[in-house]
Amino acid sequence: MLSGDDGPATMLAMRVIVRLAEIMGAEALLDISGAHIDSCLYHGEAGLDFAERLAGEGARVRVPTTLNVSSLDLLHPELYRGDAHTRDQALALMAAYEEMGCQTTWTCAPYQLDDRPKFGDHIAWAESNAIVFANSVLGARTHRYGDFIDICCAITGRAPAAGLHLDENRRGEVVFDVSTIPERLLSLDVAYPVIGHHLGRVAGSRIPVIVGLPPSTSEDRLKAIGSAAASSGTVGMFHAVGSTPEAPTLEAAVGARSVAVNSVSMEDLRAARDQLSTSTSNTLGAVSLGTPHYSVAELGRLVELLDGRRVDPAVHAYTSTGRDVAMEISLRGWDSVLAAAGVQIVTDTCTYLTPILGSIEGVAMTDSAKWAYYAPGNLGVDVVFGSIEDCVESAVAGEVRRDHTVWADA
């Protein structure tokens, strides 16, 4: 490939991979079985130039390659509130990746697709929450790849034999003990993004191990932990003893090394919860759910909580999900239920990245630690974090309502 036998695009991609391998100290490359591309999200001219150069020189992906969220919702184009030039650039970028043979999945949660990596598979995934989920929950192996690297791996079918691809780099490095957290709180979804936010801030780039979670914690709750920890920190993998495949025991997760143990208190979690809100105002302008993209189960819970009620007309309510999940809920009739309740489904993108909310009066509320972490800087909005139950009750009431009793010590 370096010699140009497979064309100039493949030669360029392999030059990037070889240079990356040198930087990472890799002694070899390895074959990958799939890739997930984050660089299809439009951040500026350089990303489009790079993709169009590759596509124009005949680049084609060698492995099944899914695409992350884009900058547009192609199924609901009327939601876009940005300028025409940015829209056109984003469309051109999406077209370039489609031309290279990538699957038009447009989701930040490729692990919710039917065909997903298996335990031990080497893959090249970008998008922080997808990376941490693949490594932690699926037991697949990917380093924390970024834009441009992801598509170069897909074109060559190769990645450096380094980082989180290797056994020795997947051991836990710091332990978080949540066994003193009341079972009542751990039975609620809201605990998990907050735990993840706390983990990320303390662990940084280290691999955390969690002990004390309920056994066989659900994928959606593990997703919430990972996406939050990858936002507040740079966590690319975590272990949850009794729930994730490489952590049947604490000893299996950490190996022979001695690691520090952090006892997580309710005070820690209340502090982490408070860090996810930028305002104490009760004036509610919008509610945004589905970051990462909601699963079928999460959308089912939303339908259940709405229970035939309607969102207050002054509140803009959105829930983001992937196309495959959107199709599934339409077969169940839930899309009509959500529309009747005043909830707009968003696909292909995310509301903290794309100008969908527009100008709102009041705060934006979310159940996502990731959305709460990024939206103030990206959108310039004030955010209030709450549970999915809080978000629904607030949307219906037209004002912020949160149940603080769930965060009591006992």
Give the CATH H-level superfamily of domain 280-407. Aconitase, domain 3 (3.30.499.10)
Q: What is the pLDDT of residue 45?
A: 96
> Which DSSP letter does residue 406 get?
G
**DSSP sequence for 104-142:** ----S-GGGSSS-PPTT-B-EE-SHHHHHHIIIII--B-
Residues 360 and 379: beta-carbon distance below 8 Å:
no
**Mean pLDDT of the 291-305 span:** 98
CA 125 to chain centre: 12
Q: Which two tokens stand for residue 386?
A: 């709450």
**Mean pLDDT of the 154-180 span:** 98
**Mean pLDDT of the 86-99 span:** 98
Beta bridge partners of 364: 286, 383
Give SS3 for 380.
coil
**Mean pLDDT of the 40-51 span:** 96
Distance CA 303, CA 339 (A): 11
Pairing of strands 316-321, 284-294: parallel
**Mean pLDDT of the 361-375 span:** 97
For residue 224, what pLDDT band results from cuts at 50, 70 and 90? Answer: very high
In CATH terms, the fold of domain 8-168 is Aconitase; domain 3 (3.30.499)
Q: What is the pLDDT of residue 355?
A: 87
Does this model's pTM top 0.85? My answer is yes
Distance CA 264, CA 272 (A): 11
Helix 149-156 and helix 8-24, axial crossing angle in degrees, nearest 10: 120
Phi, psi of 163 (to 5 degrees): 60, -140
For residue 237, what pLDDT band results from cuts at 50, 70 and 90? Answer: very high
**Mean pLDDT of the 314-335 span:** 98
Look-up: residue for tokens 């031990």?
120
Burial class for 406, CB neighbours closer than 10 Å (0-12, 13-18, 19+): middle
* CA angle (375, 90, 112) in 5-degree steps: 65
The residue ranges of DSSP E strands in 205-305, in sequence order, are 208-211, 239-240, 260-263, 284-294
- Residue 358: pLDDT above 90? no
Tens digit of pLDDT for each residue in 333-350?
999 999 999 999 999 999
Residues 323 and 348: beta-carbon distance below 8 Å:
yes
Tens digit of pLDDT for each residue in 370-385?
999 999 999 999 999 9
Distance CA 370, CA 206 (A): 19
Look-up: residue for tokens 């009750």?
393
> How does the average pLDDT of the chain come out, rounded?
97
Distance CA 194, CA 189 (A): 10
Q: What is the pLDDT of residue 359?
A: 83
The residue ranges of DSSP E strands in 295-336, in sequence order, are 316-321
Phi, psi of 182 (to 5 degrees): -55, 140
CATH 3.30.499.10 region(s) of the chain? 280-407
Q: Which two tokens stand for residue 166?
A: 């290797």
Phi, psi of 261 (to 5 degrees): -115, 125
- Residue 160: pLDDT above 90? yes
Give SS3 for 12.
helix
For residue 410, what pLDDT band results from cuts at 50, 70 and 90? Answer: confident
**Mean pLDDT of the 35-57 span:** 97
- Residue 147: pLDDT above 90? yes
Beta bridge partners of 321: 294
Sorted by sequence, the CB contacts under 8 Å of residue 211 that are 6+ apart come out as 175, 176, 177, 178, 179, 241, 250
Helix 191-203 and helix 266-275, axial crossing angle in degrees, nearest 10: 90
Tens digit of pLDDT for each residue in 70-79?
999 999 999 9
What is the layout of strands, in order, in the sheet containing 316-321?
343-346, 316-321, 284-294, 363-366, 383-385
Cis peptide, bond prior to residue 110, ω within 30 of zero: no
CA 135 to chain centre: 13
